[in-house]
Amino acid sequence: MKYYIIAGEASGDLHGSNLIKALKAKDANADIRCWGGDLMQQAGGTLAKHYKTMAFMGFIEVLLNITAIFKNITFCKEDIQEFNPDVIVFIDYSGFNLRIAKWAKKNNFTTNYYISPQIWASREGRISKIKRDIDAMYVILPFEKEFYEKKHGFPVHFVGHPLIDAISDLNIVDEQKFRATNNLDVKKPIIALLPGSRKQEVQKMLSLMLSIIGDFQEYQFVIAGAPSLEKDFYTSFLKNPNVGFVSNLTYNLLSTSHAALVTSGTATLETSLFKVPQVVCYRANWLSYQIAKRIITLEYISLVNLIMKKEVVKELIQDDLNTKDLKVELQKILGGSSREKQLLAYTELEKKLGGKGASMNAAELIVKNA
């Protein structure tokens, strides 16, 4: 069969590449054309458009690039018509994908969605578009099934979380080799700092995270540099000899870490899967936070707590994220009962995520439902 897959970000490229491998395992005659990145291309997809040419973030950037965005939409529709796939698979990237899904449904293409838009967090009204335009939805978070089916009467398939497969398939470097090749102390336990990937976010988070290092001299703090940012950007944060740095090696860093300070997002879930106790950190500018509070009506901001439906990891948000409280919360997870409690909860969390096989489960259903 012919499959057309659309992913618009780096995470979508990763999960899309694993989906392509699974589709080829399930369908020996799979012909796959895609929007994505290098990983999807390496997995056997024919790349129609690279995500790096269309990754526009934020209201102002979208406005400045509106002409390019509409050109991409037009090209996508024309490319789909020419390829004439048996099924279109959308991966997250809701702003673009829901537009294409509306057109595709009207033109009688089979529409599948893998990795749901986070409408449970904001803009829940998009459920009407999903019900109208999507033939089958494959969700990766256990509470999403309840959200769609019980709250909105829209049947979905929970396939498990692809991060479990992505992590288990990695070749993690030996700890001593990792420390040696990245100029890290060979003996001090590591506290990983995951401050995000956008410049403003990283500047704000790192300044706060590093404000406590003087109180933990027996530990080494190591910054996880984002692949989207140059090392030079981090130079001002590396003046203390007790602060290390690695770039684009977050999983290797987590595999050797004793604890972590993590900006909210998928990184909180990744940290839990590596069984690293963490404190979740989040601070935005005042106006953005006030707007977000009114749009997002979730009890927690970290995926760990959302999935577990209780506070497993401490969340320090906005004014609560300060040097005093950060020091107190980090100290709690370095040893003792608070640390053990988090680690026990992580085991339960992994079970809730459904174990290995998300990509293969999704592929099997896509082939079956096409």
Q: Averaged over 7-17, what is the pLDDT?
A: 88
For residue 290, pLDDT over 60 is answered with: no
- The distance of Cα 211 from the centroid of its chain, to the nearest Å, equals 27
pLDDT of the residue at 59: 46
300 in the same domain as 215? yes
pLDDT of the residue at 55: 54
For 164-175, the pLDDT digits (tens) are 988 887 778 889
- Give me 106's structure tokens: 């009207």
pTM of the model: 0.84
272 in the same domain as 333? yes
95 in the same domain as 18? yes
363 in the same domain as 251? no
227 in the same domain as 196? yes
Q: Residue 242 is part of which domain span?
A: 168-352
The domain tally of the chain equals: 2
307 in the same domain as 229? yes
Higher pLDDT, 276 or 124: 276
9 in the same domain as 156? yes
211 in the same domain as 117? no
Q: What CATH number is attached to the domain comprising 37?
A: 3.40.50.2000
DSSP letter for each residue of 249-303: -HHHHHHTEEEEEEESSHHHHHHHHTT--EEEEE---HHHHHHHHHH---S-SSH
226 in the same domain as 98? no
273 in the same domain as 127? no
